[in-house]
Chains A and B, each alone.
Chain A
Amino acid sequence: MRNVIETDVVIVGAGPVGLFAVFELGLYDLRCHLIDILDRPGGQCAELYPEKPIYDIPAWPEISGAGLTERLMEQIAPFHPEFHFNRMVTALKKLDDGRFEVETDENEIFHAKIVVIAAGGGSFQPKRPPIPGIEAFEDKSVFYSVRRMEEFRDHDILIVGGGDSALDWTLNLKPIAKSVTLVHRRPEFRAAPDSVNKMFALQERGELAFEIGQVTGLTGEDGQIRSATIKGPDGDVEVNATRLLPFFGLTMKLGPIADWGLNLHENLIKVDTEKFETSEPGIFAIGDINWYPGKLKLILSGFHEAALMAHAAKKIAHPEAKVVFQYTTSSTSLQKKLGVK
């Protein structure tokens, strides 16, 4: 038997909107578990533009993506949300007792009265580099992450990219590989200077190869690559490789959400504008992932959606309770929940 985590609410996605939903739901005494494929909170703000300023958050004339995430984490702390990072929500279905079952790719099961999909542009997944025919080798000899290092032992490994993932795996796989070749289109890297220095030192000692260029072609058969063509400043070079690890950053893909039986509108989840509920009562969708006439993909719109959603969610979770509208400024009961002394 797998362990089942029981909770009031499961929130799919820990972007800014999923985070703020914890606050609004918390005011109604609903406990939340959040699941995200990233390794930290903040969604697009954390992954795509942590250092860039946002100018249209009410009352914050200027705040960075990382700053906004930090502030939200501080604001929701009184409600003790539980985070489950590095996992993708794969399945969502209704149980006989009216609750929902949420499953992740790490084999966890959650049972919740309410599900809030705050999945933004979809889950972050590795970008596929534009190399013709690469699909045929994926998951057999081309990998976008290293789940088990043993898969790489005694192989000729070709690593492509100039960020921390590329550099870290170049250094980590070196001791168990038959050979390692790093390919990047220029001699400057976006990685920790220490890793870059280590890589160059190994190259100098002839323990690994570094090629400047872009991979333009692969040879091989039955899913097994044999070599790669690298287009460099002095023309094409052919490099032997039995494993390829391309690191081209992350992109957002809708992913399994499309299979959950919810009404969609061009890959977005259709909701009403009173409760931001999907076609399945008890499942809500807020933030960039939803669609309704007039929708704007703005953080502030997602915050508004979270407030209305929480009001409706409370009625479903506790049908017997009278849901009263209160201000945080004046309600002593809300202030108690927030830990205001």
Chain B
Amino acid sequence: MTTITFVAFDGTRHELEAENGSTVMENAIRNSVPGIEAECGGACACATCHVYVDDAWKAAVGEPEAMEEDMLDFAYDVRPNSRLSCQIRVSDKLDGLVVHVPERQA
């Protein structure tokens, strides 16, 4: 199990245990983390599971692929550490991961 923390826009922290191999988005939905909508269900076809990866974790999480960059065009207030959480796969190396939920999804 890997621990992930979602920090809401108002600063509230949601810490949860995630199974390796699942996506960060799936864990948010299963645990009803507010602010992650995931309208398309994880197909990288919307931009409503947008998160900001905490600076300390940016390198470990890595960069989005071209298809994800295309979808990020539709997100609100995109920053250099923006990712779609359905495209981040949980693994041991992400134990302790912190992501920030934006003010709003598109």
Contacts and interface: CB of A to CB of B under 8 A. Distances in A.
Interface string B50-78: 00000000000000001001101110111
B43 A186 contact: no
A130 interface: yes
B70 A48 contact: no
Contacts of A49: 40, 43, 45
Contacts of B70: 162, 190
B105 to A, nearest CB: 9
Interface string A279-294: 0000000000000000
A49 B71 CA distance: 12
A185 interface: yes
A248 B45 contact: no
Given A127-B106, A214-B78, A52 B73 contact: no
Contacts of B76: 130
A143 B66 CA distance: 28
A121 B104 CA distance: 21
A81 interface: no
A249 B72 CA distance: 11
A18 interface: no
Contacts of A74: none
Q: How large is the interface on A (under 10, 10 to 19, 20 to 34, 35 or more residues)?
A: 10 to 19
Contacts of B40: 48-49
Contacts, number: 36
A161 interface: yes
Interface in A39-98: 48-49, 52
A248 B41 CA distance: 20
Contacts of B78: 185, 214
A249 B45 contact: no
B23 to A, nearest CB: 15
Contacts of B66: 188
Among B66, B70, B73, max chain A CB count under 10 A is at B73
Contacts of B77: 130, 214
A243 interface: no
Contacts of B74: 127, 248-249
B96 to A, nearest CB: 30
Contacts of A248: 73-74, 106
23 contacts: A48-B40, A48-B43, A48-B45, A52-B43, A52-B45, A127-B74, A127-B106, A130-B77, A130-B104, A161-B73, A162-B73, A185-B72, A185-B78, A186-B69, A186-B73, A190-B70, A190-B73, A214-B77, A214-B78, A248-B73, A248-B74, A248-B106, A249-B74
Given A188-B66, A248-B106, 10 more contacts: A48-B40, A48-B43, A49-B43, A130-B77, A185-B72, A185-B73, A190-B73, A214-B77, A248-B74, A249-B74
Which 3 residue pairs are nearest across A and B when measured between Cβ atoms? A130-B76, A190-B70, A48-B45
Interface of B: 40, 43, 45-46, 66, 69-70, 72-74, 76-78, 104, 106
